[in-house]
Amino acid sequence: MKVKILDCKKHEHSAGETLEFQLAEVDNSFANGLRRVMLAEVPVLGIESVTIIQNTSVLPDEMIAHRIGLVPLYSMKARRMQYARDCLCGGSGCGECQINGELKVSCPSNKHSLQVFMDSLKIDDEEVYPVSSEEHGVWLLTLGRSQELNLRVVIRKNIAKTHAKFMPVATVAMRYASDIVLNPDGFAKLDTEHRRQWVERCPRQVFRYDDRTGQVLLADPDACIFCRECLLKEPPFNKLAEPLVFVRHKKDKRGYHDFTFTVESTGALPVLQILYDAVEVLRRKLERVRDGLTENPNADEMVQTRPIGGAPTAPVVVNEDILERDGAEDNLTFVMN
Protein backbone atom coordinates (compact mmCIF):
# COMPACT_ATOMS: atom_id res chain seq x y z
CA MET A 1 0.00 0.00 0.00
CA LYS A 2 1.30 3.44 -0.93
CA VAL A 3 -0.08 6.88 -0.16
CA LYS A 4 0.85 10.00 -2.09
CA ILE A 5 -0.36 13.43 -0.97
CA LEU A 6 -1.68 15.37 -3.96
CA ASP A 7 -3.00 18.55 -2.33
CA CYS A 8 -3.68 19.99 1.12
CA LYS A 9 -5.29 23.40 1.57
CA LYS A 10 -7.28 25.35 4.14
CA HIS A 11 -10.89 26.38 3.55
CA GLU A 12 -11.43 30.02 2.79
CA HIS A 13 -14.56 30.52 4.90
CA SER A 14 -14.22 27.85 7.59
CA ALA A 15 -11.63 26.37 9.93
CA GLY A 16 -11.46 23.07 8.08
CA GLU A 17 -9.01 21.77 5.50
CA THR A 18 -9.26 19.70 2.33
CA LEU A 19 -6.82 16.87 1.66
CA GLU A 20 -6.51 15.02 -1.62
CA PHE A 21 -4.32 11.94 -1.73
CA GLN A 22 -3.81 8.85 -3.84
CA LEU A 23 -3.99 5.37 -2.33
CA ALA A 24 -2.24 2.81 -4.52
CA GLU A 25 -1.90 -0.97 -4.68
CA VAL A 26 -4.93 -1.90 -2.54
CA ASP A 27 -8.30 -3.50 -3.20
CA ASN A 28 -11.58 -1.65 -2.84
CA SER A 29 -12.45 -3.31 0.49
CA PHE A 30 -9.32 -1.93 2.15
CA ALA A 31 -9.82 1.52 0.60
CA ASN A 32 -13.41 1.64 1.80
CA GLY A 33 -12.30 0.44 5.24
CA LEU A 34 -9.89 3.37 5.49
CA ARG A 35 -12.66 5.74 4.39
CA ARG A 36 -15.04 4.43 7.05
CA VAL A 37 -12.38 4.67 9.77
CA MET A 38 -11.75 8.33 8.93
CA LEU A 39 -15.48 8.97 9.09
CA ALA A 40 -16.36 7.14 12.26
CA GLU A 41 -13.41 5.85 14.30
CA VAL A 42 -10.83 8.63 14.66
CA PRO A 43 -11.22 9.88 18.26
CA VAL A 44 -11.83 13.57 18.95
CA LEU A 45 -13.17 15.65 21.80
CA GLY A 46 -16.80 16.68 22.02
CA ILE A 47 -19.26 18.15 24.49
CA GLU A 48 -20.74 15.11 26.20
CA SER A 49 -23.28 16.89 28.40
CA VAL A 50 -24.66 20.38 29.04
CA THR A 51 -26.08 21.49 32.39
CA ILE A 52 -28.31 24.57 32.14
CA ILE A 53 -28.12 26.57 35.37
CA GLN A 54 -30.00 29.66 34.22
CA ASN A 55 -31.67 30.41 30.89
CA THR A 56 -34.02 33.36 30.44
CA SER A 57 -33.58 33.60 26.65
CA VAL A 58 -36.35 32.78 24.17
CA LEU A 59 -34.64 29.52 23.18
CA PRO A 60 -35.53 26.38 25.15
CA ASP A 61 -32.80 24.57 27.08
CA GLU A 62 -32.69 21.54 24.77
CA MET A 63 -32.16 23.66 21.65
CA ILE A 64 -29.24 25.53 23.22
CA ALA A 65 -27.69 22.26 24.40
CA HIS A 66 -28.07 20.78 20.92
CA ARG A 67 -26.40 23.78 19.26
CA ILE A 68 -23.47 23.79 21.66
CA GLY A 69 -22.99 20.03 21.47
CA LEU A 70 -22.54 20.00 17.69
CA VAL A 71 -19.79 22.63 17.60
CA PRO A 72 -16.44 20.86 16.91
CA LEU A 73 -13.61 21.33 19.40
CA TYR A 74 -9.91 21.44 18.62
CA SER A 75 -8.85 17.95 19.66
CA MET A 76 -5.10 17.41 19.47
CA LYS A 77 -5.20 16.66 23.19
CA ALA A 78 -7.51 13.70 22.55
CA ARG A 79 -4.45 11.54 21.86
CA ARG A 80 -3.31 12.02 25.46
CA MET A 81 -6.71 11.49 27.09
CA GLN A 82 -8.48 8.31 28.13
CA TYR A 83 -11.92 7.14 27.11
CA ALA A 84 -14.25 7.50 30.09
CA ARG A 85 -15.05 3.78 29.92
CA ASP A 86 -11.34 2.87 30.19
CA CYS A 87 -10.28 5.44 32.78
CA LEU A 88 -9.16 4.37 36.24
CA CYS A 89 -11.79 6.68 37.73
CA GLY A 90 -14.49 4.41 36.32
CA GLY A 91 -15.98 7.20 34.20
CA SER A 92 -16.88 9.42 37.14
CA GLY A 93 -14.80 12.22 35.64
CA CYS A 94 -11.15 13.09 36.30
CA GLY A 95 -8.39 15.04 34.61
CA GLU A 96 -7.44 12.04 32.48
CA CYS A 97 -10.84 11.57 30.83
CA GLN A 98 -12.81 14.79 31.28
CA ILE A 99 -12.51 18.55 30.75
CA ASN A 100 -15.03 21.03 32.12
CA GLY A 101 -16.20 24.33 30.72
CA GLU A 102 -18.59 27.15 31.55
CA LEU A 103 -20.55 29.75 29.60
CA LYS A 104 -21.98 32.66 31.56
CA VAL A 105 -23.28 35.75 29.75
CA SER A 106 -25.98 38.35 30.33
CA CYS A 107 -27.35 41.29 28.38
CA PRO A 108 -27.23 44.59 30.31
CA SER A 109 -30.50 46.41 30.89
CA ASN A 110 -29.24 49.41 28.94
CA LYS A 111 -28.64 47.35 25.74
CA HIS A 112 -31.29 46.19 23.31
CA SER A 113 -29.65 42.83 22.56
CA LEU A 114 -26.42 40.86 22.86
CA GLN A 115 -24.98 38.36 20.38
CA VAL A 116 -23.58 35.27 22.12
CA PHE A 117 -20.78 33.36 20.38
CA MET A 118 -18.93 30.18 21.25
CA ASP A 119 -15.84 32.13 22.30
CA SER A 120 -17.81 32.93 25.47
CA LEU A 121 -17.39 29.27 26.45
CA LYS A 122 -14.51 29.18 28.92
CA ILE A 123 -12.83 25.77 28.92
CA ASP A 124 -10.51 24.72 31.74
CA ASP A 125 -7.83 23.48 29.32
CA GLU A 126 -6.23 26.05 26.99
CA GLU A 127 -5.45 23.37 24.39
CA VAL A 128 -9.16 22.78 23.81
CA TYR A 129 -11.36 25.43 22.24
CA PRO A 130 -14.34 25.69 19.84
CA VAL A 131 -13.34 25.52 16.19
CA SER A 132 -14.16 28.56 14.06
CA SER A 133 -12.72 30.63 11.25
CA GLU A 134 -14.07 33.80 12.87
CA GLU A 135 -12.39 35.62 15.74
CA HIS A 136 -15.48 35.47 17.92
CA GLY A 137 -16.42 31.86 17.17
CA VAL A 138 -19.67 30.26 16.05
CA TRP A 139 -22.83 32.25 16.72
CA LEU A 140 -24.99 30.61 19.40
CA LEU A 141 -27.99 32.83 20.15
CA THR A 142 -29.14 36.41 20.81
CA LEU A 143 -30.04 37.58 24.30
CA GLY A 144 -32.59 40.32 24.85
CA ARG A 145 -32.45 43.09 27.42
CA SER A 146 -31.77 41.73 30.96
CA GLN A 147 -31.72 38.12 29.72
CA GLU A 148 -28.96 35.75 30.81
CA LEU A 149 -27.54 32.34 30.07
CA ASN A 150 -25.46 30.27 32.47
CA LEU A 151 -24.44 26.69 31.70
CA ARG A 152 -21.69 24.14 32.25
CA VAL A 153 -20.35 21.55 29.85
CA VAL A 154 -18.48 18.26 30.16
CA ILE A 155 -16.00 17.46 27.38
CA ARG A 156 -14.89 13.89 26.71
CA LYS A 157 -13.10 11.81 24.10
CA ASN A 158 -15.11 9.55 21.81
CA ILE A 159 -15.67 8.48 18.20
CA ALA A 160 -18.39 9.22 15.65
CA LYS A 161 -19.76 5.67 15.93
CA THR A 162 -21.37 6.83 19.16
CA HIS A 163 -22.53 10.28 17.97
CA ALA A 164 -22.06 12.56 14.95
CA LYS A 165 -20.64 15.35 17.13
CA PHE A 166 -17.41 13.34 17.37
CA MET A 167 -16.82 13.35 13.60
CA PRO A 168 -13.42 14.84 12.67
CA VAL A 169 -14.43 15.15 9.00
CA ALA A 170 -17.34 16.65 7.12
CA THR A 171 -17.00 14.14 4.30
CA VAL A 172 -14.62 11.56 2.86
CA ALA A 173 -15.00 10.69 -0.83
CA MET A 174 -13.07 8.11 -2.80
CA ARG A 175 -12.99 7.25 -6.49
CA TYR A 176 -11.10 4.83 -8.69
CA ALA A 177 -8.04 6.18 -10.46
CA SER A 178 -8.53 6.03 -14.21
CA ASP A 179 -6.57 4.26 -16.92
CA ILE A 180 -7.35 6.18 -20.15
CA VAL A 181 -6.11 5.18 -23.61
CA LEU A 182 -6.95 7.32 -26.65
CA ASN A 183 -7.59 5.77 -30.06
CA PRO A 184 -5.71 7.94 -32.62
CA ASP A 185 -7.08 5.94 -35.57
CA GLY A 186 -10.61 6.84 -34.55
CA PHE A 187 -9.85 10.54 -34.23
CA ALA A 188 -8.22 10.51 -37.68
CA LYS A 189 -11.68 9.82 -39.14
CA LEU A 190 -13.16 12.97 -37.54
CA ASP A 191 -12.85 16.54 -38.74
CA THR A 192 -11.60 19.39 -36.53
CA GLU A 193 -15.06 20.55 -35.49
CA HIS A 194 -16.12 17.12 -34.24
CA ARG A 195 -12.83 16.64 -32.39
CA ARG A 196 -13.38 19.92 -30.54
CA GLN A 197 -16.98 18.93 -29.85
CA TRP A 198 -15.84 15.62 -28.38
CA VAL A 199 -13.25 17.31 -26.13
CA GLU A 200 -15.78 19.87 -24.84
CA ARG A 201 -18.22 17.15 -23.78
CA CYS A 202 -15.99 16.16 -20.87
CA PRO A 203 -17.22 18.02 -17.74
CA ARG A 204 -13.87 17.61 -15.93
CA GLN A 205 -11.61 18.73 -18.82
CA VAL A 206 -9.71 15.47 -18.90
CA PHE A 207 -8.86 16.00 -22.57
CA ARG A 208 -7.59 18.92 -24.63
CA TYR A 209 -7.34 19.75 -28.31
CA ASP A 210 -3.93 20.78 -29.64
CA ASP A 211 -4.45 23.52 -32.23
CA ARG A 212 -0.94 23.14 -33.60
CA THR A 213 -1.04 19.41 -34.33
CA GLY A 214 -4.81 18.92 -34.51
CA GLN A 215 -4.59 16.00 -32.08
CA VAL A 216 -6.68 15.17 -29.02
CA LEU A 217 -4.45 14.71 -25.95
CA LEU A 218 -4.84 13.81 -22.29
CA ALA A 219 -4.84 16.93 -20.10
CA ASP A 220 -5.71 15.68 -16.60
CA PRO A 221 -6.50 11.94 -16.40
CA ASP A 222 -6.72 12.06 -12.57
CA ALA A 223 -9.81 14.30 -12.88
CA CYS A 224 -11.84 11.55 -14.57
CA ILE A 225 -15.04 10.58 -12.70
CA PHE A 226 -16.18 7.84 -15.14
CA CYS A 227 -19.21 9.83 -16.27
CA ARG A 228 -18.99 8.17 -19.74
CA GLU A 229 -19.65 11.44 -21.57
CA CYS A 230 -16.64 10.63 -23.76
CA LEU A 231 -18.35 7.46 -25.03
CA LEU A 232 -20.76 9.31 -27.31
CA LYS A 233 -23.42 7.29 -29.12
CA GLU A 234 -24.70 10.01 -31.46
CA PRO A 235 -23.74 10.86 -35.07
CA PRO A 236 -21.05 10.88 -36.30
CA PHE A 237 -19.44 9.12 -33.31
CA ASN A 238 -21.74 6.10 -33.47
CA LYS A 239 -20.53 5.28 -36.97
CA LEU A 240 -16.98 4.50 -35.84
CA ALA A 241 -15.94 0.86 -35.69
CA GLU A 242 -14.04 1.32 -32.38
CA PRO A 243 -14.49 3.73 -29.45
CA LEU A 244 -12.48 6.93 -29.47
CA VAL A 245 -11.25 6.25 -25.96
CA PHE A 246 -10.91 3.30 -23.60
CA VAL A 247 -11.58 4.19 -19.95
CA ARG A 248 -10.92 1.60 -17.25
CA HIS A 249 -10.20 1.44 -13.55
CA LYS A 250 -6.45 1.57 -13.03
CA LYS A 251 -5.21 -1.85 -11.91
CA ASP A 252 -1.81 -3.48 -11.45
CA LYS A 253 -0.76 -7.03 -12.36
CA ARG A 254 -1.94 -8.37 -8.99
CA GLY A 255 -5.43 -6.97 -9.51
CA TYR A 256 -5.04 -4.13 -6.99
CA HIS A 257 -6.54 -0.71 -7.71
CA ASP A 258 -5.49 2.90 -7.22
CA PHE A 259 -7.90 5.34 -5.54
CA THR A 260 -8.09 9.09 -5.16
CA PHE A 261 -9.43 10.33 -1.80
CA THR A 262 -10.84 13.76 -0.96
CA VAL A 263 -11.11 14.49 2.78
CA GLU A 264 -12.76 17.61 4.22
CA SER A 265 -12.09 18.17 7.91
CA THR A 266 -14.21 20.08 10.41
CA GLY A 267 -11.15 21.70 11.97
CA ALA A 268 -11.19 19.45 15.04
CA LEU A 269 -7.88 17.95 13.84
CA PRO A 270 -5.41 18.85 11.09
CA VAL A 271 -6.50 16.87 8.06
CA LEU A 272 -3.14 15.08 7.74
CA GLN A 273 -3.41 14.06 11.39
CA ILE A 274 -6.78 12.49 10.62
CA LEU A 275 -5.14 10.35 7.94
CA TYR A 276 -2.31 9.30 10.29
CA ASP A 277 -4.77 8.44 13.08
CA ALA A 278 -7.02 6.48 10.71
CA VAL A 279 -4.09 4.33 9.57
CA GLU A 280 -3.11 3.77 13.21
CA VAL A 281 -6.67 2.67 14.08
CA LEU A 282 -6.66 0.32 11.09
CA ARG A 283 -3.27 -1.05 12.15
CA ARG A 284 -4.59 -1.90 15.62
CA LYS A 285 -7.60 -3.64 14.08
CA LEU A 286 -5.31 -5.77 11.93
CA GLU A 287 -3.17 -6.60 14.96
CA ARG A 288 -6.25 -7.90 16.75
CA VAL A 289 -7.06 -10.06 13.72
CA ARG A 290 -3.47 -11.35 13.69
CA ASP A 291 -3.58 -12.13 17.41
CA GLY A 292 -6.88 -13.93 16.99
CA LEU A 293 -5.50 -16.04 14.16
CA THR A 294 -2.37 -16.84 16.17
CA GLU A 295 -4.41 -18.07 19.11
CA ASN A 296 -6.70 -20.16 16.88
CA PRO A 297 -5.33 -23.66 16.12
CA ASN A 298 -7.01 -23.57 12.68
CA ALA A 299 -5.51 -20.20 11.77
CA ASP A 300 -3.77 -21.49 8.63
CA GLU A 301 -7.09 -22.62 7.20
CA MET A 302 -8.83 -19.36 8.12
CA VAL A 303 -6.24 -17.01 6.63
CA GLN A 304 -6.40 -18.35 3.08
CA THR A 305 -9.36 -16.41 1.70
CA ARG A 306 -10.62 -15.60 -1.76
CA PRO A 307 -11.68 -12.01 -2.52
CA ILE A 308 -14.60 -11.36 -4.84
CA GLY A 309 -13.44 -11.69 -8.43
CA GLY A 310 -9.80 -12.37 -7.53
CA ALA A 311 -7.27 -15.07 -6.81
CA PRO A 312 -6.62 -16.44 -3.29
CA THR A 313 -4.79 -13.90 -1.19
CA ALA A 314 -1.51 -14.49 0.57
CA PRO A 315 -1.58 -15.05 4.34
CA VAL A 316 -2.03 -11.84 6.31
CA VAL A 317 1.18 -10.85 8.08
CA VAL A 318 1.20 -7.72 10.22
CA ASN A 319 4.43 -6.68 11.94
CA GLU A 320 5.67 -3.71 13.92
CA ASP A 321 6.80 -1.95 10.74
CA ILE A 322 3.28 -1.85 9.35
CA LEU A 323 3.41 1.93 9.28
CA GLU A 324 6.36 3.74 7.79
CA ARG A 325 6.51 7.46 7.09
CA ASP A 326 9.17 9.51 5.45
CA GLY A 327 9.82 13.12 6.35
CA ALA A 328 8.11 14.85 3.42
CA GLU A 329 4.37 15.43 3.62
CA ASP A 330 4.06 15.45 -0.17
CA ASN A 331 5.55 11.96 -0.48
CA LEU A 332 3.98 9.92 2.27
CA THR A 333 4.23 6.14 2.12
CA PHE A 334 2.50 3.62 4.38
CA VAL A 335 3.94 0.12 3.97
CA MET A 336 1.85 -2.94 4.87
CA ASN A 337 3.64 -6.30 4.64
For residues 2 and 335, give the distance between their C-alpha atoms in angstroms, rounded to a whole number.
6
Amino acid in the structure at residue 303: V
Burial class of residue 203, CB neighbours in 10 A (0-12, 13-18, 19+): exposed
The angle subtended at Cα 131 by Cα 127 and Cα 133, nearest 5°, is 125
Domains of the chain: 1-42+168-177+251-337 (3.30.1360.10), 44-163 (2.170.120.12), 179-249 (3.30.70.20)
Kindly report each contact of residues 183-192 with a partner whose C-beta sits within 8 Å and lies 24 or more positions away, as own/partner: 183/242, 183/243, 183/244, 183/245, 183/246, 184/215, 185/242, 186/240, 186/242, 186/243, 186/244, 187/215, 187/216, 187/244, 189/240, 190/236, 190/244
pLDDT in tens, the chain (337 residues): 889 999 999 988 788 899 999 999 999 999 999 999 999 999 999 999 999 999 999 999 999 999 999 999 999 999 999 999 999 999 899 999 999 999 999 999 999 999 999 999 999 999 999 998 777 789 999 999 999 999 999 999 999 999 999 999 999 999 999 999 999 999 998 999 999 999 999 999 999 999 999 999 999 998 899 998 988 777 788 778 788 999 999 888 888 999 999 999 999 999 999 999 999 999 999 899 888 888 765 655 554 443 333 333 333 333 334 333 333 344 444 444 3
Which of 60, 20, 119, 72 is CA-nearest to residue 332? 20
